[in-house]
């Protein structure tokens, strides 16, 4: 016969295991929720258009002497995030390297003479006009100045535009 309060198989153990299990279960739930929030943030930042804050550019960039740029040519300036295009008539345009659809970087394709967007298949001509959507408007411009035969581009002032207009070109 056993004493009162004593289990026949031995003394009653305190139920410590369910408390530990509950704690570990909640810990795993919290870690899973945190991982889900991080994943959602990564997906949202991938899908959202890029927004440039505060100081958008690096200021005035000296591109070089006018004579270094042949007519109907394009030169990339990755640090300034623009292309300097010299048109066939000798004028200059500083085109943003960012697609106006979702902000992807557009490369210059010398063979086709276009800026094809690798993200969603938009393309732009030498003047920055949209050749194929989904880009809603022409590539943005940066102001160009020619001082003492030196081409300078002000990357702190981005100019949004719908399409190319002759007044946007800077001549010597």
What confidence score (pLDDT) does residue 13 get?
53
Hey, where are the domains in the chain? 16-48, 60-168
- Mean pLDDT calculated for residue range 18-46: 88
Q: In sequence order, what are the beta bridge partners of 123?
A: 116, 132
What confidence score (pLDDT) does residue 42 get?
86
How many angstroms separate the CA atoms of 129 and 108, rounded? 14
Contact 137, 144 (CB under 8 A): no
pTM over 0.75: no
E-only strand ranges, 81-164: 82-86, 92-96, 115-116, 123-124, 130-132, 141-142, 144-147, 150-154
Return the CATH architecture of domain 60-168: 3-layer Sandwich (2.102)
How many angstroms separate the CA atoms of 129 and 139, rounded? 7
What confidence score (pLDDT) does residue 5 get?
57
Contact 141, 128 (CB under 8 A): yes
- The tens digit of pLDDT for each residue in 61-106 reads 999 999 999 999 999 999 899 999 999 999 999 999 999 998 999 9
Sign of the alpha-carbon dihedral angle for 51, 80, 66, 115: negative
With cut-offs at 50, 70 and 90, classify the pLDDT of residue 44. Answer: confident
What confidence score (pLDDT) does residue 56 get?
47
What confidence score (pLDDT) does residue 172 get?
85
- The tens digit of pLDDT for each residue in 147-168 reads 999 999 999 999 999 999 999 9
């Amino acid at each position: 016969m056993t004493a009162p309060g004593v289990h026949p198989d031995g003394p009653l153990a305190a139920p410590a295991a369910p408390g530990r299990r509950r704690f570990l279960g909640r810990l795993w739930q919290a870690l899973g929720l945190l991982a889900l929030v991080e994943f959602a943030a990564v997906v949202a930042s991938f899908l959202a258009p890029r927004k440039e804050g505060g100081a958008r550019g690096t200021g005035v960039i000296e591109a070089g002497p006018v004579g270094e740029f042949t007519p109907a040519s394009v030169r990339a300036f990755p640090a300034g995030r623009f292309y300097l295009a010299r048109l066939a008539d000798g004028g200059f345009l500083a085109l943003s390297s960012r697609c106006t659809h979702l902000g992807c970087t557009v490369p210059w394709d010398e063979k086709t003479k276009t800026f094809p967007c690798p993200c969603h298949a938009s393309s732009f001509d030498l003047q920055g006009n949209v050749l194929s959507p989904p880009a809603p408007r022409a590539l943005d411009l940066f102001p160009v100045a020619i001082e003492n035969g030196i081409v300078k581009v002000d990357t702190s002032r981005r100019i949004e535009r719908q399409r190319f207009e002759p007044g946007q070109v800077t001549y010597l």
